[in-house]
Structure formats: C-alpha cells, structure tokens
Amino acid sequence: MEYLKGLNPSQRAAVEQTKGPVMIVAGAGSGKTRVITYRVAHLIRTGVDPFNLLVLTFTNKAAKEMRNRIMDVVGSEAKNIWMGTFHSVFAKILRFEANKIGYPTNFTIYDTDDSKSLIRSILKEQQLDDKLYNANFVYNRISSAKNNLISAAEYQKNAQIQSEDFSSGRGRLGEIYHTYTQRCFKAGAMDFDDILFKTNVLLREHPDVLYKYQNKFKYLMVDEYQDTNYSQYLIVKKLAAINENLCVVGDDAQSIYAFRGANIQNILNFEKDYPDLKVFKLEQNYRSTQNIVNVANSIIANNKNQLKKNVFSENEDGDKIKIARAFSDNEEGKIVAESIIQERSLKGLKYQDFAILYRTNAQSRAMEEALRKLNVPYKIYGGMSFYQRKEIKDLIAYFRLTFNPNDEEALKRVINYPKRGIGDTSMERIIIAADKNNTTPWEIIKDAPSYLESRTAAPAGGFATMIQSFQAVAKHQSAYDAALHIAQHSGLLKDLYSDKSIEGLSRYENIQELLNGIKEFSEREDLEERGLDIFMQDVALLTNDDNDKNPDADTVSLMTIHSAKGLEFPHVYIVGLEENLFPSQMSVNSRSDLEEERRLFYVAITRAEKKLTISYATSRYRWGTLTSCEPSRFIDEIDARYLELAYGEQQKSIERNPFFADRLESPGVDSFSKPKPKTGALKTTSMLPKAHVPSAGFAPSDTSGLQVGMEVEHERFGYGKVINIEGSKSDIKATIFFKELGQKQLLLKFAKLRIV
Ligand code: ATP
Ligand code: MG
C-alpha cells in the first residue's frame, strides 16, 4: 500500500474505512479533501469499479484537481469515476432521464440572468409593481422554495408561507412562482435550482430510476458537506440508502452558504441519520504556517455556535501576518500589486503563488486596474466569466434556439438582435398570442401569418425560417461548421465586425475565441459524438474555471472568498477589511449573519500557506460617492501576537493601534518592505529604517553590465536586487528592491551604486 504513505494515522484510518457511513468534521487544511482523494484511489486499487463511484465536490476546479491526483495512482481508469459538482453530475443524469419527468433530453439550462429576465416579463404581464415584486427578490424567494423542495402548488397551499407573503403585501408570489414554473416547463428549460429540485422529483416519483442509481453508485463521497442544502442532502441520502457506503467531509466553521439555503444542520444531524456512523477526527493542519493557523483560530473563537475543534500546525512559525492601510481602494490595489512584484522577485516565486481575495465581486476592479498598470498577469475566477459576456450569450442563444426553439429566454434575447424589426411591442404581442393559444412563442412565429398581423408576421416568420435552416445545418455538419454558419447567417458576426471601437473589437475576438473552442471540441478524439448539440449540453454549467483557455498560464488568482473555498495558495492577500464591507452592511445587525461573515473571514485566512496580508482602505467609492471607511472589527479580533509590529512611521496611528502597519506616504517606498522591529518596543524613532552606512565612498559608477536579478549596493539605500531595467542610453532606469527600504526606481547615470 505504498500509495497510502502520504497519510497520517487518522487520515489513513478514514481512508481504509470504506464500508458504511463515515463522517469527518475537521478544521481547514487538515486533509479532508486529501482523504476523499486517497479513498477513491484506494477503492479502485482494492477492486471497486470506478463506474460505481460518485464523488461530489464544490467546484469543478476541485473535481478536476482530484481526478488528476487519482489518475496518478490508478491511471486512466480514473476517467470513469462520476465526479463533479452536484449541478454538473445531476444535470448529466437528468439528460438521460428527462423524458420521465416530461422534459426533452435537450432541455436548456437557464442561468440566473435568464431566470430573472423571465420573472421580469411575468411581472410586466401581470402588471405587478416591480418595486414590491423586485425581480431579484422574487428569484431568491423561488430559489429558496425549490431548495427546500417546496413546489409552486405546495407554496400556494402552505398556510405559513401564504400568511408571510400576504402580511408583507406580496400575496401574489405563489402565483408568480406557478407561472414561472409553467413557462420554464413549456420552454423546455430548467433553472439552476431545478437541476436539484427535478432530480428529487425524479428519484421520488420513479422508484425504478432511484433503484438503478442506488445500485450504480455503490460508494458516495461528498466534500464540503457543511454547505449542502436540503435538496442536496436528500439526493445524497436517497442514493446512499441501500449500500450506505457514504463518506462526507466538512467543517462547520467553513459554512458560508446559508444565504443560499445551505443548512449546517445537515452535518450536525448526520449522526442521527446514521447511528452506525464512524467519525474520524483530523486535527493537524498541513497547509499553513503556525502563525496563520493561530490567527484563524483566534478569529473563529469569537463565534459562539461552533463545534469544538483542535487545530494545530507543525509547520514553521512563518512570517507574521501583515496589515496594510491605504487611503483609497486604488491605492490598496497598488500596494497589493507592488507587493506581489516584490515578493515574487525576491523569493523567486511565480505569479500563481499569489491570490487576492475579496468579499464582493465589484472589488476586483481596483485590483485589476493596479495589476494591469504594473503588467502583472492575473485571472479572475467566478464573476464575469467568459460565458457570461453579452456577445457570447447572444451566440449561445442562437445555438440554444437551434436545438430547443421553445426556449423563450433565448428567443427574447436574439429575436431582434441583430435588429430585424421585431421590437419589444412585437415580442409582447407574440407572448400574449402564445398565452392565449396555450402554446409557446416559437409555435406562434413558426406559423406567424395565422396569429400575427402582417407587420409583425413577416419579420417574425423570417426569423423562424432562419432558425429552421440552422436546425438543418446542425444536423448534418460538424459542431464547428454549424457554429460558424450560425454566427455568420444570424448576422451577429457582421454586426460585431462593423463595430470598430475597442470594446467592439474585443467582442468580436471573444466570438472568435468561442469558435476556436468549438473547433477544438470538434476535433477531440476521445468523444464519439462531437455535434454542436453535445457541445451545448455542458455550456450552461460552465464557469470560469472550466473554460480556462490556458490553464498553465502563470497568473495571479483573483476571486471572491466564496469561490476560494477548498483552495490554497502560498501567498494570500485579503483586501477590503472595512466595516460595512467585510463584515457586510447587511450582516452586522444579527448574530447569526455576523457569525457567517466571520466564518467567511476564517475561510479566507485559511487559504494561505506561507504568508497572509490583510488590507483596508480609509476611503472608497461606494454607490457612486466617496465614503470614508473604518477598519473592520475582524482586524481587532486578531490576536496581536501574530501580527507583524507596525513600522512606526506614523506615531498617530500607532498610538491608536500599534499593530496597524501604516503605509509611508512618500512615493516609491512600500509598507510591505518595512523592516521588522527587533523588539516589541513602540518607540517610533527606533523603528525608522536606519540609513545604510557605506563602507567606502560611492560615486556614480560603471553599471553598464547591470542586469535584472543582480545584487547591488547603494550608498544610502543599502543592499538590494535589480528587478527591472528600462530606457536607453543616458536614460536607463533600474527598479531596485532594497532590503530595507523597498522598491525604488533610480536613474542609473546618477545612481551611486555598485554591483556586489
Ligand atoms: P479545507 O477545509 O480548506 O477544504 P482540507 O481539510 O480539505 O482543507 P486538504 O486540502 O485536503 O485539506 O489539505 C490541505 C493541504 O495539506 C494540502 O496541500 C494537502 O496535500 C496537505 N496534506 C494533508 N494531509 C497531509 C499529510 N498527511 N501529509 C502531507 N501533506 C498533507
Ligand atoms: Mg477541502
């Protein structure tokens, strides 16, 4: 069992306990995911068919990484394991079984935008006040009903829900939910929550199907179990009911999706569901330095509702945690970007060793701008991913219509793009006609002259004919040829091509990039079927980490803390630690919300392996106005022993809180590079950087042989390393990172410098 060597005794015990229900609740970085990975490898090595394994992960990225590791142990058989997120695995199963619940196998998946747009049109049709019935609100309400397995009919019958809705003046929510459900069904579409909801329906109403999958998935494993919602919990429970070979791992301290219906009780109740449960404890954190683990522990100790856990690290103490203050969000971005450049060159790291984590997606802007200015390559995970961009969604909508012309949201999206004289009013008429005749908008436009007046009928009929021609092409041509045909003949490519603005160009490039991706797909040899319809099946579930065009590129990772769950990076920057941002404004009035924010902070901290930096700005633009910000209460909660003492440049801030490292205002000197004080003494003068006392006289020196990477000594600034050289002839400038002072740019002809 050579392959089990990389496990400690408790991890190994959990891996070898392959039969019966198993639960591991343990702190961050203690090897929970590693246990699942090794367990899968172990099961296969001991004779279990990979087709009988179901592994549910929280992100597609995690599934991909896990599969690669397992492949190292068991070889290409690992490809046959059913592994992925709940949504991707069950969307796949629903494709096989869709007919049983009245859906076509080529059903469309509506993303959040589609769902909200559909809700908006229902609100408009029913002439409801869109402030009271705000589309986001309605969407969340429906989503939470579905995640609790409450159907539209049950919603309307449930007395408690009804009285809640009526007392808030929103008595028609049930009716909206009902219409929404019917419209999705008619359009052959499921929204994200439907994937789990309909899976439950399928397993509940078709015992033969349930039995089939119970026998197929003889072993189930679920990572990040603390963030499953009721709907996911039930699916797992049902599938595991015969064999009960179920292993779940999680950490209650990392439960951060309550706002989306995740139910921490699922982990707490596991023992009740499975009295024969074997529980394994993992206490050693292998990921992070002791300082980082200690900081994380000191933060989470402030939460009342927590299972007691011992988490320790035997790794080195490591650097203390740094806190940086900036006067604006832009400057915060600059501090972080400069720090990454310095750390990377000083320590010989790669960009991929760094991650910047933030509370809200919008915070990426300042970070992105700063990184771009300094030419630091980066990649955003989650958020506005490639497939979320307008032009991509437009072309995809044409593809969707080609395979499922009843798809109402796709139809609305492109029926008049590029413009063809079917405006909003025409579209409304089409929808009204569809409702009146109890059919879909597609049926109306397909037979336009029978239903619509001629002004609308002509262009609408023309559009339907075009989609039908796409259907014929898609049937006979390769995915790429069909996609190209549709891009050209829909007029979309031409429309984008004629827009010569920078944005237009980038949109055109994005379409080209999508076509490139489809071309690559058309040429894949491992697939039997390579039609555009097959390509489309996965598209709705693609998130940024899937469509990673160049996964090997060396880039800094940017993401929200929510999407960082389960991941790890040597150097982590958590930015925007300000009151009303983190913790968020909405959370500060209730203990349970505040505790969820604190768990989020705990998740962020525990992503770091070697070095953690936390920053905040004293002012930033929010909702269009410059507001001043207070440092987050979470900063005060950090045990000061693990913080790097402030460099005492600014007496005032030190008096306020000795542990805030303030940024020097003078340009070219960065707070991150401030020397550590030797003792905890707070006498500011003693902490000012001592000017280096030169050992010999310096004169502007012959630096013609100077190259990036060389060590140098400067008369006043001391020792440093060259990180960049630019300019020409008499104007050559070198950027040097000085050990004591940080980064400076010097004009070489004047610099009193020598190569050491
Ligand atoms: P999280 O709660 O953040 O999801 P986790 O409990 O799933 O964390 P893992 O990601 O499995 O933790 O492990 C954290 C890191 O520690 C990984 O890099 C993993 O490879 C390493 N690790 C875990 N156990 C061991 C071990 N026994 N020996 C060496 N490295 C280990
Ligand atoms: Mg994990």
Distance between CA atoms of 392 and 483, rounded to whole angstroms?
12
Residue 378 Cα to ligand 1 middle (Å): 25
Residue 64 Cα to ligand 2 middle (Å): 13
Among residues 345, 331, 367, which one has the least CA distance to residue 735?
345
Pocket test for ligand 1, best of 10, 34, 65 (most atoms within 8 A of CB): 34
Ligand 1, atom 24, residue with closest C-alpha: 31
Residue 368 among the catalytic residues: no
Res 668: pLDDT? 32
Which of 11, 12, 33, 743 is an active site residue? Answer: 33
pTM of the model: 0.75
Which of 97, 114, 194, 224 is an active site residue? Answer: 224
Res 524: pLDDT? 72
Q: Per the annotation, where are the binding residues?
A: 26-33
Rg (CA), the chain: 29
Which of 254, 543, 613, 684 is an active site residue? Answer: 254
Res 388: pLDDT? 72
Which of 146, 344, 607, 611 is an active site residue? Answer: 607
> 367-373, long-range: CB within 8 Å, 24+ apart, which pairs?
367/333, 367/336, 367/337, 367/558, 367/575, 368/333, 368/558, 369/330, 369/333, 370/330, 370/333, 370/334, 370/336, 370/337, 371/333, 371/337, 371/340, 371/556, 373/334, 373/337
Pocket test for ligand 1, best of 8, 30, 37, 227 (most atoms within 8 A of CB): 30
Position in ligand 1 atom list of the atom nearest CA 30 = 6
Position in ligand 1 atom list of the atom nearest CA 607 = 3
Place of tokens 């679920």: 222
The bound ligand whose nearest atom lies closest to the alpha carbon of 29 is 1
Q: What tokens does 299 get?
A: 């933060």
Give the distance from CA 741 to its chain's centroid: 36
Distance between CA atoms of 146 and 232, rounded to whole angstroms?
11
Position in ligand 1 atom list of the atom nearest CA 286 = 16
Give the distance from CA 177 to its chain's centroid: 28
Supply the ipTM of this predicted assembly.
0.99
Residue 31 Cα to ligand 2 middle (Å): 7
Position in ligand 1 atom list of the atom nearest CA 254 = 2
Ligand 1, atom 20, residue with closest C-alpha: 34
Residue 254 among the catalytic residues: yes
Residue 34 Cα to ligand 1 middle (Å): 6
The bound ligand whose nearest atom lies closest to the alpha carbon of 32 is 1
The bound ligand whose nearest atom lies closest to the alpha carbon of 34 is 1
Contact yes or no for 387/539 (Cβ under 8 A): yes
Res 536: pLDDT? 86
Distance between CA atoms of 311 and 30, rounded to whole angstroms?
8
Neighbours of 9 (CB within 10 A): 7
Q: In the 8-state DSSP scheme, what is residue 375?
A: T
The bound ligand whose nearest atom lies closest to the alpha carbon of 253 is 1
Which of 165, 223, 391, 546 is an active site residue? Answer: 223
Distance between CA atoms of 534 and 527, rounded to whole angstroms?
10
Residue 224 among the catalytic residues: yes
Residue 230, CA atoms < 13 Å, CB-side half-sphere: 10
Residue 32 among the catalytic residues: yes
Ligand 1, atom 27, residue with closest C-alpha: 7
Instruction: Please give all residues whose CB falls under 5 A of ion ligand 2, grouped by chain where several chains appear.
Output: 32-33, 566
Res 74: pLDDT? 92
Beta strands in 26-182 (DSSP E): 53-57, 82-85, 108-110
Residue 34 Cα to ligand 2 middle (Å): 7
Residue 191 among the catalytic residues: no
The bound ligand whose nearest atom lies closest to the alpha carbon of 11 is 1
Pocket test for ligand 1, best of 7, 12, 33 (most atoms within 8 A of CB): 33
Q: Per the annotation, where are the binding residues for ATP?
A: 26-33
Burial annotation 215-240 (CB, 10 A radius, 16+ → b, else e): eebbbbbbbbbbbbbbbbbbbbbbbb
Residue 90 Cα to ligand 1 middle (Å): 27
Among residues 588, 596, 591, which one has the least CA distance to residue 256?
596
Q: CA separation (Å) from 65 to 60, 74, 83?
A: 9, 15, 11
- Ligand 1 surroundings by CB, under 6 angstroms: 6-8, 11, 28-34, 251, 254, 286-287, 566, 568, 606
Residue 607 among the catalytic residues: yes
Pocket test for ligand 1, best of 223, 227, 287 (most atoms within 8 A of CB): 287
Q: What is the mean pLDDT of each run of 10 residues along the chain (756 residues)?
A: 90 96 94 96 95 92 89 90 93 95 92 88 89 89 93 95 92 96 95 95 97 97 93 95 95 85 80 92 95 94 83 93 91 95 96 95 80 88 66 93 94 94 92 92 95 93 97 93 95 87 74 80 76 81 48 87 93 96 88 93 98 93 74 92 58 35 32 34 27 39 74 79 76 76 73 79
Res 350: pLDDT? 97
Res 311: pLDDT? 87
Position in ligand 1 atom list of the atom nearest CA 251 = 2
Burial annotation 554-567 (CB, 10 A radius, 16+ → b, else e): ebbbbbbbbbbbbb
Residue 318 Cα to ligand 1 middle (Å): 18
Residue 414 Cα to ligand 1 middle (Å): 47
As a residue count, the chain comes to: 756
Residue 250 Cα to ligand 1 middle (Å): 13
